[in-house]
């Protein structure tokens, strides 16, 4: 079963599953895209506490500055890793 990443409010969502823009894989789970989505928006939905993360798309690491400008496309494989400190 595929999870949906909601990118519009439910009452305004007129797109059917067949009209989806495709799907992406995030940390091994499939997510359906309902409209163009940039990495920064994906992180807002999946990382609500705003923790520091590293993001890789199709085996390429993004800089934090690329998050707002990088649009996800159908078939992209995204890995999001939470950074932790220790001592």
Two tokens at 32? 């359906």
What predicted TM-score, i.e. pTM, was given to this entire model? 0.72
pLDDT category of residue 52 using cuts at 50, 70 and 90: confident
Q: Average of pLDDT values for 54-75?
A: 95
3-state secondary structure (DSSP) of residue 32: strand
Residue 9 has pLDDT above 50, yes or no: no
Burial of 33 (0-12, 13-18, 19+ CB in 10 A): buried
């Amino acid at each position: 079963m595929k999870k949906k990443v909601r990118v519009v409010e439910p009452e305004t969502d007129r797109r059917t599953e067949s009209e989806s823009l495709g799907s992406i894989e995030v940390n091994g789970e499939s997510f359906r895209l309902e409209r163009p989505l940039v990495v920064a928006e994906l992180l807002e939905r999946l990382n609500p506490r705003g923790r520091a993360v590293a993001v890789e798309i199709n085996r390429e690491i993004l800089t934090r500055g690329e998050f707002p400008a990088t649009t996800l496309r159908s078939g992209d494989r995204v890995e999001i890793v939470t950074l932790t400190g220790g001592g």
